[in-house]
Structure 1
């Protein structure tokens, strides 16, 4: 597994080894021991989630607060998506900063998102299958979010606004400054 530190503290891009031949490929997408050796983190993932989205579907920016916060290991199983994470840890040197990473079914990169980050993605292909492991269970009472077009963050979602498909719930999310109070 290849490991790349991002510009955000504690966030990593991981690229599992792929074994290809005329039949296709095989890849071990997660191994707790290998992950711990590569990152130094002993994460216990307890929930796997998957979504299917069409071109232009934007999901996010979501997070969970307090003891129900989640670390995530995210990847695209099929298609292509732009993944965005925002550091919302007030004591972090990268607080309020964000990065974007293209995840697709060709390179098979994964992104480790630690607790204390808002997360979202947008599908850039006809469809995408997006999968993620979480180290804590979903808890509706702990959920929070930041509006996708927050002026403070200035996230470039790579698509024109008229192509975006956003849930009514996500359109009502607060601005960054209100969301992190």
Structure 2
């Protein structure tokens, strides 16, 4: 529970100590959760849509199925009831995960990047490998990875090597299949 310094008769120093020790658990989790998590605006919107779908469609549907299965009698041997409860736990776990991620993430709008000459979070980069083949990636948060869709994590070896590089710079990336050299051909912030 938080205490207001203005309404307290204790010295401010004591209140400051109490404020730090008695703070919300959520705030402690945010500060001790390690590195800051970033999401692009579009990634946050996708996660929010999934959250709303789970809350408004999936969970009510599964809850109704579990209720119907429970009404059939003996729950210990009722496969529909057991599976429904398991599915409900999975949905609830995913809802908690999405809520926590959306609450604690820093939302970044790539189009608002001021330094468009260098690679930063949210950039869409076009790379050319040693064989002259080009590939395009958008650097996104770890919760929005889609390699088939060209979105790679900011924590990936390629993204780490590209950070703060300019067009024309060459980077070496160590990957499981061996080293590869890429030349940065284009940077976009869309």
Quickly name the TM-score band, shorter chain normalised: under 0.3
* TM-score using structure 1 length: 0.22
More relative contact order, 1 or 2 (CA 8 Å, 6+ apart): 1
Task: Give the structure with the larger helix fraction.
Answer: 2
The structure whose Rg is larger is 2
* TM-score using structure 2 length: 0.22
Task: Give the structure with the larger strand fraction.
Answer: 1
